[in-house]
Amino acid sequence: MADPQLVDGSRWNFSQTFLNDFQSLRSDLQTRIQQANQSVSISKQTLDGLNLQLAELSKSIVDATGSIPKFDQRNCENQLKEIEQSLEGLRKASAPASKFAFKRKAREAVQSSPNVSTPSMKASAAPTSSLTLSSYTMKLVTPDDLPDPETVAPELRSELSIHDLDSCILNLINAKQHEISALHIRNVKNSILLLPALDGSVILHDLINCIVVVKCHQFRMHSSKSIDVYLSIQSNPIIEHCHSIQFAPYPATFSPTIVQHNSDVSVQDFSHIKSTPSPNWNVLDERARKLPEDWQSISAVSATDVERILQKCLPSV
Task: Fold for 4-94, please state it.
Answer: Methane Monooxygenase Hydroxylase; Chain G, domain 1 (1.20.58)
Q: State residue 231's pLDDT score.
A: 95
Domain over 132-253+264-313 is classified CATH 3.10.20.30: no
**Higher local confidence (pLDDT), 64 or 162:** 162
Q: What is the pLDDT of residues 164-197, one digit of tens each?
A: 999 999 999 987 757 788 899 999 999 999 999 9
* Same-fold call for 4-94 versus 132-253+264-313: no
For position 191, what pLDDT does the model report? Answer: 98
The fraction of the chain above a pLDDT of 70, given in percent, is 81
- Ranges of each domain in the chain: 4-94, 132-253+264-313
What pLDDT is stored for residue 301 in this prediction? 95
Of 52-61, 130-139, 140-149, 213-222, the least confident: 52-61
Q: pLDDT at residue 291 above 50?
A: yes
- Please report the pLDDT score of residue 283 as a whole number: 95
Task: State the pTM of this model.
Answer: 0.64
Cβ atoms of 205 and 235 closer than 8 Å:
no
pLDDT score, position 214: 96
Mapped to the 3 state alphabet, what secondary structure does the chain carry? CCCHHHHHHHHHHHHHHHHHHHHHHHHHHHHHHHHHHCCCCCCHHHHHHHHHHHHHHHHHHHHCCCCCCHHHHHHHHHHHHHHHHHHHHHHHHHCCCCCCCCHHHHHHHHHCCCCCCHHHHHHCCCCCECCEEEEEECCEECHHHCCCHHHECHHHCCEEEEEEEECCEEECCCCCCCCCCEEEEEEEECCEEECCCCCCEEEEEEEEEEEEEEEECEEEEECCEEEEEEEEECCCCEEECCEEEEEEECCCCCCCCCCCCHHHCCCEECCCCCCCCCCCEEECCHHHCCCHHHHHHHHCCCHHHHHHHHHHHCCCC
Mean pLDDT of 218-225: 95
* Greater pLDDT, 9 or 21: 21
pLDDT (mean) for 57-80: 82
Task: Check: CB of residue 248 under 8 Å from CB of residue 228.
Answer: yes
If pLDDT is split at 50, 70 and 90, which confidence band does 78 have? confident
Q: Is the pLDDT of residue 313 over 90?
A: yes
State the average pLDDT over residues 6-19.
Answer: 69
At 260 the pLDDT is 56
Nearest CA to 142 among 287, 275, 303, 259?
303
Distance CA(178)–CA(218), nearest Å, equals 19
| Confidence label for 11 from pLDDT (cuts 50, 70 and 90) | low
